[in-house]
Amino acid sequence: MKYFTSSLFLFILLMALPGYALPDNPKKHTISGKVTDKSDGESLVGATVFIKELKTGTTSDQYGRFSLTLPEGQYTIMFSFIGYTSSVQEISLDKDFTLKIELSTEQKELQEVVVKSDRYDQNVVKPEMSVFKMDIHTIQKIPALMGEVDVIKAIQLLPGVQSVSEGSSGYSVRGGAPDQNLILLDEATVYNASHLMGFFSVFNNDAVKDVKLYKGDIPANYGGRLASVLDVRMDEGDSKGFEVNGGIGIIASRLTIEGPIKKERSSFIVSGRRTYADLFLPLSSNKALQNNHLYFYDLNAKINYVINDNNTVFLSGYFGRDVFSNQFAKMRWGNGTGTFRWNHVFSKKLFFNFTTVYSDYRYLLGTPSGSSSSFEWNANLRDLGMKGDFSWYLNTNNTLHFGGAVTYHMINPGTASGIGSETVYSSVQVPKNYSLESGIYATNEQKIGPHFIATYGIRLSLFQSLGPGTVYHYTPNHIVIDSTVYKPWIVYNTYGGIEPRIGLLYDFNGKSSVKASYARTYQYLQLAQNSSAGTPLDIWFPASPNIKPQIGDQVALGYFRNFRHNTIETSVEVYYKWMQNVIDFKNFAQLLLVDTLEGQVRTGRGYSYGIEFLVRLNEKIVSGWVSYTYSRSFRMIPDIEPNPYPAPYDKPNNISVVLNFQLAKRWSISANWVYATGAPVTFPTGRATIAGKVIPIYSGRNAYRYQDYHRLDLAVTFSSKQKPNRKFSWDLNFSVYNAYNRHNTWSINFVQDNIDPNITYAEKIYLFGIIPSVTFNFHFKHHE
């Protein structure tokens, strides 16, 4: 293994070297630097750097940095970013240059001046596929439930992504399970992205800068999940002046303050949000509701400090809690994450990031003390991790990324105990478990000739179960025989994975391209959940002597083409995905507070495939996207069902229309319409009567479907007058969720009639009718 690892890295290095070694190359110099927003000093992620003469370029990384090595000569370099005015620099390249590029927000009047045809377009020429990036301004235009715009709800509108259930924050990417998505907030894993049972996500828009979803072709620096990576980056704060942003909606309010600590050197941002639907409950005429509490709050904070040109550090944190209580029950749950990051520039060509992350998800469930049934149940999952990532802009044709990460997982699946002196309950502790997940990777992006780019890399992952731990031994029929207890810090089980990641691009003169990719991914940690919408009572459980890691292989092929000066981006992608060791649970599984969870797991294989059509518009008046997806997803788990059966997320036809029209300077209209084939469901094909109750008799799993799902949402935004140097601005947003009031199925129950117990009928539950709402957003900016 060790030999293999080192030879592999050597191979990747050697592959990258030829560009360096050619003897009669002209003298070369490096242009490096950072692209930032002129108004607030924040770095621009994914800004394009285009060399007009060479018709080549690069994009800025997650921290706005770029590096390009070119032969000596005269160049016209264009820096651009959607929504910003491009900046053109004439450079006589006879030495290395470090540039600080500041782009300013596009003034509508200036837009026509920009020569769009020269724009280096990422859709076509960037060697990545199955990726969707959105900045927060795009997300904010999407009409939303209760007017509370949401990152996850926006993600659910993308091709290849399915919501698992109406209103839920869970999503399935290309037929994968919701727990196969890695969700990162400033590099820290978010284990449960839901607020209020999923109707909201943990991401507060005012604190988020941009999001990027990888549906396949997952870069080698990410690992640990089979289906996707959602990379959410927090805003850095305005380093030039103070800003106060806020919003008042019908169920929640937000407030964000940002500004410089030391001008243009360091900045901070603090953002908070709370729902207040429950504040009106005491007014309710229903006595039972008056003492109820149901709310969530969250806080985001980040400090950014530029020590010097070569060193930047930031510290960011998130804390959120949901609180629910009434006279007989209380429940609290939420995430906390913390990230410390140091960006270091070793040289103009070698960048380094060091990251330490902490992540914590916990919940508490209980009843008030003082009664015979008083109890409290606590569970949590904590991660402590470190990462080092290098980017080496070796030469014009090769960019190397390599690094490693290690994470220590600490899981307490549940401690339940009676509270108070009257309680009848004693205490129950489900054994805690500890594990170490590590990975190293190296990947090279290599230009071969004018049209071809290959990205090839590998990730080696390792998962070690650490003591103290209890491992139960099972018969082939899943019955516990005995157990082994391991002492602290003993490695009692190890799994490893070799994960190749390959991407190819052939570019037809910058207007269109063909891309292909293959990625293998390993997943060592999964969620014990067999309901479709999910609850906050998450139990993540690791690979172990009884549970093998899940393995995914995905191949994808795509055609990408732009029209009308790159303002219309189109793509078609086909993919096929195989999954091994996927998990499901036996019928009537009991997942909460049980020692022998692993005995209820049933494993097998899965596969999914599909084709995704996407048209993305970035015109002056119309922006958004239209997509159609045809996809299937199946599971083969013989202990559940002898034949392959549709996965719960198998919704073959899927249409998303997400459009924003800028009607006039102060008026804009947004609309989205989604359509999906009804989700698969198991229905009864007979009945039996037992002790007075009619019970259903089922046939094959997921043999039926709900009615098709479709919904239209609308929003109108009216903004204050735009004037330069204006300190205060606002907008008023009216939105309607489910505009034509379709009663989309949430679930179907089979109910026995109260009066005549021989009569049974089907009853549909739908969650939302038409829901109008209004939100007022304000923005105050003070720049000296």
Partner 1 sequence: MNKLLFSLLILLLATGCTERINVNLDNSYVRLVVDGGITNDSMQQSVILSKSASYFYNQPPPMVSHAIVTLTDGSFLDTLKEDLPNNPGIYGLAKDFRGVIGKTYSLDIKLPEVIGNNAEYTSSCKIMKVARLDSIQTEFNPDLGKNGHWLIKIYAQEPGDEMNFYLLKYYRNGVLMSDSIQKWSTSDDKYFNGSYIRGLTAFYINNSRTWETLHPGDTVMVQMSGITKEYYDFIQQVQQAGYQIPFFSGPPANVEGNISNGGIGFFTAYSNSFAKLIIPKK
Q: Per CB under 8 A, which of residues 147..176 are in contact with partner 1?
A: 165, 168
Please list, in sequence order, all residues whose beta carbon lies within 8 angstroms of the beta carbon of residue 329, skipping any fewer than 6 positions away.
365, 366, 367
Among 261, 663, 759, 770, binds partner 1 (CB under 8 A): 759
Among 97, 474, 661, 746, binds partner 1 (CB under 8 A): 746
By CB under 8 A, is residue 643 in contact with partner 1? Answer: no
- Nearer to partner 1 by C-beta: 454 or 694? 694
Q: How far is the CB of 367 from partner 1 (least distance, A)?
A: 8
d(CA 282, CA 290): 4
d(CA 255, CA 776): 12
- Note whether 759 and 751 are within 8 A (CB): no
Judged by CB under 8 A, the stretch of 78-86, 137-145, 435-443, 676-684 that binds partner 1 is: 676-684
The residue type of 414 is G
- Note whether 303 and 268 are within 8 A (CB): yes
- Nearer to partner 1 by C-beta: 565 or 705? 705
80-109 residues in contact with partner 1 (CB under 8 A) are none
Q: How far is the CB of 649 from partner 1 (least distance, A)?
A: 13
By CB under 8 A, is residue 596 in contact with partner 1? Answer: no
- Note whether 461 and 519 are within 8 A (CB): no
By CB under 8 A, is residue 419 in contact with partner 1? Answer: no
Helix ranges (DSSP H) in 222-354: 287-290
Judged by CB under 8 A, the stretch of 232-240, 321-329, 629-637, 709-717 that binds partner 1 is: 321-329
Cα–Cα distances in angstroms (integers) from residue 202 to residues 69, 212, 296, in the given order? 41, 16, 10
Among 1, 487, 749, 784, binds partner 1 (CB under 8 A): 749
Among 261, 329, 485, 621, binds partner 1 (CB under 8 A): 329
330-389 residues in contact with partner 1 (CB under 8 A) are 331, 365, 367, 372-373, 375
Among 182, 446, 768, 781, binds partner 1 (CB under 8 A): 768
- Nearer to partner 1 by C-beta: 241 or 534? 534
Closest C-alpha among 536, 539, 541 to residue 321:
536
d(CA 154, CA 201): 11
| DSSP code string of 657-696 | EEEEEE-SSSEEEEEEEEEEPPPEE--EEEEEEETTEEEE
Buried residues in 308-334 as b, exposed as e (16+ CB within 10 A): eeeebbbbbbbbbbbbbbbeeebbbbb
By CB under 8 A, is residue 771 in contact with partner 1? Answer: no
- Nearer to partner 1 by C-beta: 1 or 690? 690
Q: Where do we find the tokens 């030829």?
A: 18
Burial class (CB in 10 A: 0-12, 13-18, 19+), 415: middle
d(CA 154, CA 139): 6
Please list, in sequence order, all residues whose beta carbon lies within 8 angstroms of the beta carbon of residue 486, skipping any fewer than 6 positions away.
467, 468, 469, 470, 471, 492
By CB under 8 A, is residue 482 in contact with partner 1? Answer: no
Cα–Cα distances in angstroms (integers) from residue 375 to residues 135, 272, 537, in the given order? 45, 32, 16
Q: Across the strands, what pairs with 211? A: 134, 232
Q: How many CB atoms lie within 10 A of CB 588?
A: 7
- Nearer to partner 1 by C-beta: 170 or 219? 170
Site string for partner 1, 573-592 (x = CB under 8 A): ------------x-xxx--x
- Note whether 83 and 107 are within 8 A (CB): no
Q: How far is the CB of 596 from partner 1 (least distance, A)?
A: 13
Closest C-alpha among 252, 160, 26, 244 to residue 653:
160
Q: How far is the CB of 333 from partner 1 (least distance, A)?
A: 12
- Nearer to partner 1 by C-beta: 279 or 664? 279
193-252 residues in contact with partner 1 (CB under 8 A) are 197
By CB under 8 A, is residue 682 in contact with partner 1? Answer: yes
684-743 residues in contact with partner 1 (CB under 8 A) are 684-699, 701-702, 704, 743
d(CA 394, CA 17): 8
Among 253, 356, 415, 535, binds partner 1 (CB under 8 A): 535
Among 105, 483, 531, 653, binds partner 1 (CB under 8 A): 531
Q: How far is the CB of 200 from partner 1 (least distance, A)?
A: 13
- Nearer to partner 1 by C-beta: 21 or 697? 697
Judged by CB under 8 A, the stretch of 154-162, 352-360, 392-400, 762-770 that binds partner 1 is: 762-770
Tokens of 462: 């390792």
Judged by CB under 8 A, the stretch of 320-328, 499-507, 658-666, 774-782 that binds partner 1 is: 320-328
User: How many residues of this chain bind partner 1 (CB under 8 A)?
Assistant: 81
At CA 651, angle to CA 647 and CA 655, rounded to 5?
155
- Nearer to partner 1 by C-beta: 59 or 194? 194
Q: How far is the CB of 674 from partner 1 (least distance, A)?
A: 18
Q: How far is the CB of 415 from partner 1 (least distance, A)?
A: 12
By CB under 8 A, is residue 477 in contact with partner 1? Answer: no
Q: Across the strands, what pairs with 357? A: 339, 385
d(CA 186, CA 30): 29
Q: How far is the CB of 510 from partner 1 (least distance, A)?
A: 47
Among 491, 621, 762, 770, binds partner 1 (CB under 8 A): 762
By CB under 8 A, is residue 481 in contact with partner 1? Answer: no
Query: Phi/psi zone of residue 449: left (φ > 0), alpha (ψ -120 to 50 degrees), beta?
Result: left
271-300 residues in contact with partner 1 (CB under 8 A) are 286-288, 292, 294
Judged by CB under 8 A, the stretch of 322-330, 338-346, 556-564, 617-625 that binds partner 1 is: 322-330
Q: How far is the CB of 636 from partner 1 (least distance, A)?
A: 16
By CB under 8 A, is residue 634 in contact with partner 1? Answer: no
